[in-house]
Structure 1
Amino acid sequence: MTNEPTRDGAAGATPCRLCGGPTAPAFSARDRNHRISPESFRYVSCAACGTLTLADVPADLGRYYPASYYGVPDSADAAVARDENAAHRLELLRGLVPQGRLVEIGPSYGGFLELARRAGYDVSAIELDAGCCRFISEQLRLPVTQSDDPAAALTGPYDAIVMWHVLEHLADPAALIASAAAALAPGGMLIAIAPNPESLQLKLLGGRWAHVDAPRHLALIPLAALAGEGAKHGLEVAWSTTADEDALRSNNFGWSGSLAASTQNETVARGLRLGGELVRIAVAPVERRGQRGASYTIALRKPSR
């Protein structure tokens, strides 16, 4: 992996954020996506489950989420239109859970949530950001709970709990998996999308991989580790992939974003993004095999009684 200079400190002293196991140094990374600061952040790898954990979480982590991180739509239709992933995620949901009570964790401005409501689901949300909560409540007129602890905010029973690129931001992902398992109705599904730390891109790019997104991503959890954590609470893998539409978009951003982030010159960056697209095309046959895509989608089912 590509390494950058790290801060001082014993990386092995940081326990795995998923399973609590011992860790060893993996790589370091800077905030290449938003450039909030020039600091370097250490990631460590768990010997037991393979999860990558951010070792030195900033005390002021909130400042690494700039106002532009979200961006405010001006209507429900605009919220749906700006979410290029909403339609195929809804198609995935309908194939797994055709109807019922749905909660989305971390919906941002609720584009997917609104589309699910229009498809007939009984929807609600749990969201950290106050502005997003206000939009969901006032513009979408949907129930939303503002909370920085989604595990505690889940009430249930839910037929579906969905979280699209949320787990990697959580201080305690294991607690959320446990809470979600308890909150699901029998036969219900927990559906999640997350960056894939077993991807070809991470192996080649290391700390320069755009999906590391230091320091906002606190843990990069392997698909098998997440499945194992679910199994501890009685959840079974119903479906998983690293080659769906979400993964294809992640592949593109992973190559283009990683290369473009190496410069602050926008003209050069445009050329590098194009170069990243050419790399993506060249390695696409490899990324589609053996769980090498830049992200994975997994559906965990709670058995029916």
Structure 2
Amino acid sequence: MVSQEDFTIVKCDSCGFLATSPRPADDQLGRYYESEDYISHSNTKKSLFSRAYQIVRNKAVRDKRKWVEQHASKGDLLDMGCGTGHFLNECKTNGWNITGVEVSEVARANAKTEHGIEPLSSFDEVSDSPAQFDAISMWHVLEHLPNLNEHLQKFHTILKENGALLIAVPNHESLDAKHYGPQWAAWDVPIHLWHFSKSSMNNLAAKNGFEIVEIKNMSFDSFYVSLLSEKYKNGSMRPIQAFLTGLRSNLAGRSSKNMSSLVYVLKKAV
């Protein structure tokens, strides 16, 4: 992977939850993001792959906004790990009151330069006051957070009663994950501290007072992850092979909601 270091995925015998081991100290995690390969922070457009990523992202942010609006009344939205602010800008343009949290100084600077958005630098800066937000979104962020239960408990507090929490994470039970095995790019150790399946996400939600009301496939991710996985496995992206693997993964996971990445829509449990 990008870090060129060795890590192990360990499994909890009782619940089946997967975690990265050894887990880097919290104050060491930041250095693993300091790579131009991490283009959601750098916003680079130097390579063909990076330019394609930017084009697809423009459509993806529109889809994400529509998903949020299917489950939450338009109002106040918190986006955790907002990166360079493209999704927040899409929501702001369409009438949402936005708040973003982003730990990367580079990404925050890009958000301000490109969109005039100034994200908070830490979740601690978000007030603990109850029922602040109509929607909370996390697009490939939960797998990065050191303290899962603490975050979800605070989300439960600050989310309005009829609000929605949308969480996108990689799915290690997808066909592309099984195809690439240890070279599956979405393991992304060590910055991915946790690795989710539908059952482990359901358990995590229930433990923190939520229920999953819908699961959505993220069809583009199968191709994106397969491209990176080809690079890790074979030394080059091999776009034809990656496309075919991504397509097979999408076809296999379409009806069962088991593609490379899934969006979980959570509501407060009654």
> How does the TM-score come out when normalised to structure 2?
0.84
Among 241, 246, 250, the residue aligned to 1:275:
241
The C-alpha deviation readout for 1:87-136, integer Å capped at 9, x for no partner, is: 11011111111401101000101000001001101101111012222343
Q: C-alpha separation between the residues in 2 aligned to 1:197 and 1:154?
A: 34
Q: C-alpha separation between the residues in 2 aligned to 1:226 and 1:283?
A: 20
Residue in structure 2 matched with residue 261 of structure 1 by the alignment: 232
Q: C-alpha separation between the residues in 2 aligned to 1:64 and 1:196?
A: 22
Q: What count of residue pairs does the alignment treat as equivalent?
A: 254
Report the RMSD for the aligned CA atoms in angstroms.
2.5
Within 5 Å, give how 1:37-186 maps onto structure 2. 37=4, 39-59=5-25, 60-68=28-36, 69=38, 70-72=41-43, 83-84=57-58, 85-137=60-112, 139-147=114-122, 150=123, 153=126, 155=128, 157-186=132-161
Q: C-alpha separation between the residues in 2 aligned to 1:73 and 1:40?
A: 27
How far off its partner does 1:154 sit?
5.1
Among 254, 257, 264, the residue aligned to 1:291:
257
Q: C-alpha separation between the residues in 2 aligned to 1:273 and 1:231?
A: 39
Give the match's secondary structure for 2:120.
Answer: strand
Q: C-alpha separation between the residues in 2 aligned to 1:72 and 1:206?
A: 29
1:48–1:289 Cα change, 3 Å: farther
Residue in structure 2 matched with residue 249 of structure 1 by the alignment: 220
1:109–1:298 Cα change, 3 Å: same
Among 171, 191, 197, the residue aligned to 1:196:
171
Give the match's secondary structure for 1:63.
Answer: helix
Q: C-alpha separation between the residues in 2 aligned to 1:124 and 1:280?
A: 34
Answer with 1 or 2: which has the greater Rg: 1
How far off its partner does 1:67 sit?
4.3
One-letter amino acid matched to 2:126: A
1:192–1:284 Cα change, 3 Å: closer
1:303–1:119 Cα change, 3 Å: farther
Identity of aligned residues (%): 24
Which 5+ residue runs of structure 1 have no aligned equivalent?
A: 1-30, 75-79
1:98–1:67 Cα change, 3 Å: same
How far off its partner does 1:86 sit?
0.5
The C-alpha deviation readout for 1:204-257, integer Å capped at 9, x for no partner, is: 33211111011211101223322332223332222113x3xxx21111123332
How far off its partner does 1:81 sit?
6.2
The C-alpha deviation readout for 1:236-288, integer Å capped at 9, x for no partner, is: 222113x3xxx211111233321222244xxxx25x22112123334543222
8 Å Cα contact 1:198/1:222 also seen in 2: yes
Which 5+ residue runs of structure 2 have no aligned equivalent?
A: 46-53
Q: Which has the higher helix share?
A: 2
How far off its partner does 1:151 sit?
6.4
